[in-house]
Structure 1
Amino acid sequence: MDREPEELQFLGLFGIYKESFKIIISWRKIFNKITLALVLPLTFIFLAHMQVSGLIFSKILHNEEALDFTRTDTATYHRLSDRISSEWVAFWLFKAAYLVFLLIFSLLSTSAVVYSIASIYTAKELTFKKVMAVVPKVWKRLMVTFLWSFLIVFIYNVVAVVFFVLALIVVNPGTTAGITLGIGLLALYFSGVVYISIVWHLASVISVLEDFKGIKAMTKSRALIKGKMRIACAIFVKLSIMFALIQIAFEKMVVHGGKLEMGSRVLFGIVCFLLLMQLFLFGLVVQSVFYFVCKSYHHESIDKSLLADHLEVYGGEYVPLRGKDIQLEQYDV
């Protein structure tokens, strides 16, 4: 980054996008290697999951439809029933394996990109070998933060379901008041989901660069986001919309594109794959840049020399920034 810490706080939405594009282009060699090693498998796992899940689920639906037209207590009925049970087991086992590998490559990709951005920020020597040496040690911290965010989301959804059920009991959903209440509760629910997601993404960066993880990283993230919530929401919503559009296009044109020629489906698949891969990388860079913007906004500028020292690997161990190292004296704006 060519900007001084004091200047980062003034970056708006498009300024953050511009800074992220600039970093990716300027350091394209290192980011190309990170993409090939981590982001590409992440993208492949996500899209392959959609394709394979679609195939397994279509077989289940086909067999269940055949079962409806088969007489009970016959050999054919029992054979179809056993086949459906086996396919459901395969479906959920595949889902579980998908989530595990998706989580692993997601955390590894986040670790690599955040560490790289911090190294670029400190003008520290950055090589792909060094990144890959640090990443396995950092991603464990991210796992703790992810588990806490997962627990928070779980509790949040349980509370939301309780409120929705109580609302249905108190107010008739078919009335105008019921519809209005339902819309209001849905708006509040999705607002909460967006807020938790934003806090979690920034907490992931904090878990890599600072001596915070889990609930402490989430708390620190909430404090940093204050004053930059509008920009954070805009970034999250825009990236989510782009992600959803690519996902829908892949599902329509590839997974359920049986009417299209195979060549067209393959072409659409490649285009969606490349777009999603670049979006994953861009999103990780943006959230890393946004972290430094928030630090600058709150006058918590990290001294470049201290950050560079703590990004080093001492005795094979990754050493994150301690709290006393990041809470430096505030600079005057």
Structure 2
Amino acid sequence: MDREQEEIQFLGFFGILKESYNIVSSWRKIFTQITLFLILPLSFVYLAHLQISEIIFKKIMHNEYMLEWTPEGTRIHDRVSHMLRSEWTAFFLFKIGYFVFFIVLALLSTSAVVYTVACIYTAKEVTLKKVLSVVPKVWKRLMVTFIWNFIIVFAYMIVSLLVLVLGVIVLGPIRILGMVFLVVFGIVYLIGLLYITIIWHLASVVSVLEESYGLNAMSKSQGLIKGKMGISAGIFLVLGIFFFGVEHMFKMLVVFGDGIGGRIGFGILCLVLMSICMLFGLIAQTIIYFVCKSYRHENIDKSSLADHLGEYLGEYVPLKSKDVQLEQFEV
């Protein structure tokens, strides 16, 4: 990042995307290495789980159909029923294993990219070896932040479900009002989910670059995002659309596609596109952090930030909170 901090606050939607591209192109080697070691495996795990889930689920649906048309009490019925229980168990165990593995890789990738961008910003030397040595230490902080985000999202979904059920019960008999309620509820629900997602991603950056993590990091990110919510939401929406677009393309051309050669080719293409999307998303969220800091006139002391980054490597004594926090300055 070769811009002065006063200029960063003026970066808009396209400015943040352009800055992300400039960082990748200027530091192509380190980001290529991070992509190959962390982000590419992360993308592969995500896409592979779509394919494997479809294979297992297809078998389950076939056996469900067989069970429905098989007389109860027969040997075939008992055998199919036993297979179904085994397949459902395998399906849920696979989902749990995938979720844990995906989250671990996602947090490691986030740690690596945020740390690398911050090193670039502070003109601190960064190598893959150094990044990989820091990642496990930063990952622990991110895990705490993620767990709290998971709790918040879970509570949000429970409350939303209760509101939805209550609304359907009350307004269901009135068809027009019921339809209006469902549309409004859907819009509000998605906006709320997007807001929580933005807060979480920014909190991930806070967890790496400041002392705060967990609920404190999410509280700080909530304050930081004020004034830049529109731009941040726009960037996350575009990246989200691209992400789910690649996912849909993978499902259509690979999971449900025809021909081994074509499926392999499109699978590789989707893997590359998904990796690019994830990399740009992580870089963009880090830049958004600096933009928000600058917009709120919170000066980032590069030397203190560099010391904080070096602390992960044991290069510096632990800093006090006042040293890591970003001081106010007048514009």
Give the structure-1-normalised TM-score: 0.96
**For 1:314 and 1:191, how far apart are their aligned partners in 2?**
36
Tell me: CA distance 1:195–1:322, structure 2 relative to 1, closer, same or farther (3 Å). farther
Q: CA deviation at 1:166?
A: 1.6
Note if 1:218 corresponds to 2:213: no
Contact kept? 1:209, 1:320, Cα under 8 Å = no
2:80 corresponds to: 80
2:227 corresponds to: 227
Contact kept? 2:12, 2:231, Cα under 8 Å = yes
Figure out how many residues of one structure are paired with residues of the other and give that number: 331
1:138-287 pair list within 5 angstroms: 138-172=138-172, 174-257=174-257, 260-287=258-285
In structure 2, what residue type is equivalent to 1:8? Answer: I
**For 2:311 and 2:114, how far apart are their aligned partners in 1?**
15
1:3 corresponds to: 3
Per-residue CA deviations over 1:189-232 (Å, capped at 9, x if unaligned) read: 11110000000000000001101111110100000000000001
Q: CA deviation at 1:165?
A: 1.6
Give the structure-2-normalised TM-score: 0.96
**For 2:318 and 2:173, how far apart are their aligned partners in 1?**
52
Q: CA deviation at 1:329?
A: 4.0
**For 2:223 and 2:206, how far apart are their aligned partners in 1?**
12
Q: What SS is found at the alignment partner of 2:10?
A: coil
Contact kept? 2:308, 2:324, Cα under 8 Å = no
Q: What SS is found at the alignment partner of 1:72?
A: coil
- RMSD of Structure 2 on Structure 1 (CA): 1.6
Q: What SS is found at the alignment partner of 1:289?
A: helix
Deviates more, 1:191-200 or 1:315-324: 315-324
After TM superposition, the runs of 4+ consecutive aligned structure 1 residues lying more than 6 A away are 317-321
Tell me: CA distance 1:328–1:57, structure 2 relative to 1, closer, same or farther (3 Å). closer
In structure 2, what residue type is equivalent to 1:92? Answer: F
Q: CA deviation at 1:320?
A: 7.8
% identical equivalent positions? 56
Note if 1:95 corresponds to 2:99: no
**For 2:189 and 2:214, how far apart are their aligned partners in 1?**
23
In structure 2, what residue type is equivalent to 1:292? Answer: F
Q: CA deviation at 1:321?
A: 6.6
Per-residue CA deviations over 1:158-198 (Å, capped at 9, x if unaligned) read: 11111112212221355212211221111111111000000
Q: What SS is found at the alignment partner of 2:212?
A: coil
**For 1:209 and 1:60, how far apart are their aligned partners in 2?**
46
1:33 corresponds to: 33
Per-residue CA deviations over 1:235-268 (Å, capped at 9, x if unaligned) read: 11111100111001101111111xx221111111
Tell me: CA distance 1:176–1:211, structure 2 relative to 1, closer, same or farther (3 Å). same
Q: What SS is found at the alignment partner of 1:312?
A: helix
Contact kept? 1:70, 1:76, Cα under 8 Å = yes
Contact kept? 2:120, 2:126, Cα under 8 Å = yes
